[in-house]
Structure 1
Amino acid sequence: MNQLPPQTREAELEIENAHLRQRVYDAELIAERAMALLNRADEQHRTIEKQLRRSRNDLQSVTDTINQLVWRSGDDGDWTSASPQWTAYTGQSEGQSLGLGWLDTVHPDDRERSLEAWHGALAQGALEIDHRLRRASDGTYRWFQTRATPLRDPSSGRTVEWFGTSTDVHELRAVQERQRLLLGELQHQARNTLAVVRGMARRLAETSRSVDGYAGELDDRLNAFSRVLGTVTRDPGIGVDLEGLVAQEVLAQLANEGEQVEIFGPVILLPSQAAETLGLAIYELASNAAEHGALTKPHGRVKITWTREPSGSGTHLVFVWQETSLVSHIGQPEKRGSGFHFLEQTLVDRLKADVTLTFAPLGVRCTICMPLTKPITPIGR
């Protein structure tokens, strides 16, 4: 067997080393991109934490300025006196509040609980109950925290009377609920960010034909996910506007509404976990249209519509993506990549959606029917 001259062998080794260095460089770029996305997610998490701290400060302000309604009572809630604050708030005179008269100002749904709390107060040595009291000025019910302790006869231990206060905690409860929502969103985003990045990388590794292709496709999807994540975390308590989500991904493909793209549908605010998944699905459809579909043709058109449809199990969102190229046929793809996998399987798994994807002679049509009233499985579950 003839051996290659040393110079030729060295040249081949240099070429192989160059290819290897390029692959390492590409892998480093992918890692840097993923890290940048994680850093952005971390910054968004810090923003939510700042909102939590602001909520805690609001909570302290509410606590410092609340007014208390003061009263005295015998056992089992048999009131013996009420303060002027009680009269000013409820509109009841002191005489009307005596005995169990005060119960008339309690919300009907809370009256039984209030009496049960009084029946157990003597054994527990204290009264603790949160219930709603009617405000005389406008007839609304607000949450109050009612607490009372007994004054006992030192010699016999018998309860002489109870001293109690009712404190308006309506705003306090609203702040606490806001904190709970923000904390839940923070935890959700922390888990899902890593889960989505891992899922993208794994699916692309299974379908990409080269390192270059893998790096480019992963970078595009990371950009799309970054856009969706930014929209979702802007104000997690309100929801994500579907029209804005669609327009964002269409614009990202350099397609302007009104030229080749028509967008129409009612106002729908999606919960964050649904918006994340549907936003990535819209990206897959938009990028496919820009690379292989109707947006590659001067006369190509994309019509994106959605409606609310009643069903036996509640309300469904019916989302339709329709492409038409008008002058030439667009054929079936030779290979169904990770984008089609996302549309045909991931949407079904995460959103409990029915997905119909067809390749008509003049363009792609995708119909997504998903529940708006049923619980939606979080990403990464």
Structure 2
Amino acid sequence: MKSSSDQRSSALLQQRSALASFGELSLKSEDLDEILTEACRLVSEALDTDMAKVMELRDDGNFLFVRAGVGWKPGVVGEVCLSRDPGSSEGRALDTGAPVISRDIATEDRFEFAEFLKENGVRALVNVIIIGGHEKPPFGILQVDSREPRDFNEDDISFLRTYANLLAAAVDRMQTDSERRSEQRRLAASELRLRTLVEGIPQLVWRSTAGGNWSWASPQWQDYTGQSGGESLKRGWLDALHPDDRPAAIEAWSSVDGETPLEGEYRIRDAAGDYKWHQLRAAPALDEEGAVNEWFGTATDIDELRRLQTEQQTLVAELQHRTRNLIGVVDSVIGQTLRGASLPGELRSKVQGRLQALSRVQGLLSQSHQESITLERLITLELEAMAADRLDDRIAVAGPHVCVGETTVQTLALVLHELATNARKYGALKQDGGRLKVGWESVGEGRSRSLVLTWREEGISIAADAELGAGFGFALIKRAIPHQLNAKTGLAFGADWLECTIELRLKGEHNLHV
């Protein structure tokens, strides 16, 4: 019969053997359930007990699930789930973090025990917490059960705590590996979805670092241009651009600031050697500090759109040209008719003057696709038609750069023609010492901005019985402009001055455009 000292040495040796065996298994196996089950078997053998189990703490922290075990009847392992009851031995171990021993549950009055323990003949047990990883909750409980009353000594408890810590390390490694693999699968799936999206869209997609040095070009780019993936890298992609467009592309990249998207239209050579217009657009990808990491861009085929726009511009120019010719014909017919009729020459002059004003506007519209129509140009054109350029020392025209839209220009041109005609016949362009000031400015802010145009004649003599405000020109100012252009107008005069104001709503929040 072995002495108590020999028995203790034998038990310690068996426990160390269990630790070594489990340590070796935990390093080799990638199956957490296999590790947990073998852990229960080894600890049961090392402590010479009938049963052992691992109870996993569920994510909500309120339930314990019997995930692995040995020695139990069917219906326990993988099925039993207990509430985390603070009055149970398991709840006490989780709340305190210390081992909990019950020598004989038949006489134990500290805790309530689950029915499945009694049904499996459990009399004694010891619980040890399995800690979690860094900043993680406990994984659960390692519990060793005996069908006979038993005193678990200090050596048993020390072994169990060491064993539970080794088990916790194995669990943490497995969970970390599982999370990493899950993240890798998620990233791989995300990359696959992104690649499928990128390679499925009709645009030619690319990535670039600063200065237009491409780091990647999509299969669409390679298929379209015939360049290999390596040939398009750095600035190799420029070889696919039309030689005349390369300087503009290089200049565009040299001036980007990382705050606004990059845009440009260039001709790109396809694999057959034909050039087609594409719109290149790129947006910066910023890091956490707001610095540009790289650029993501696309090239979209707009060759057909450019062709249609060119055809449209040609058609518009032809239409404007024919309109001017038509107005010329109408002017000629009216002139001949008026000469054949006994009508006043003033009427003939007015009709012809207004038709000529419309003709001048048509000339501006025919060129509007190449050069915007500005308010200054419109005013100058009407004054030049009145030979006012010979009176430059008496005329002042000043104001910011303002573009006039096609829906506004004809009505505004007729109004300016009437004002200029009136000034030539009666006002500042007629009378010695008369002065004409035409100015405009932006007033208000944001969407409430307006443009105020002021036509002021000074140093003129206005007869007391003059009927200002009568006639076609002033009817345009008082009724047509407010109705057609949603404008506000005003007309005021004194003994030696006259002033007309027109207020038009500005379009957009930044550009000056009426």
TM-score normalised according to structure 1 size: 0.49
Give the number of the structure whose residues are more often helix, by fraction.
1
TM-score normalised by structure 2 residue count: 0.37
Higher relative contact order (CA 8 A, sep 6+): 1
Whichever of the two has the greater Rg, that structure is: 2
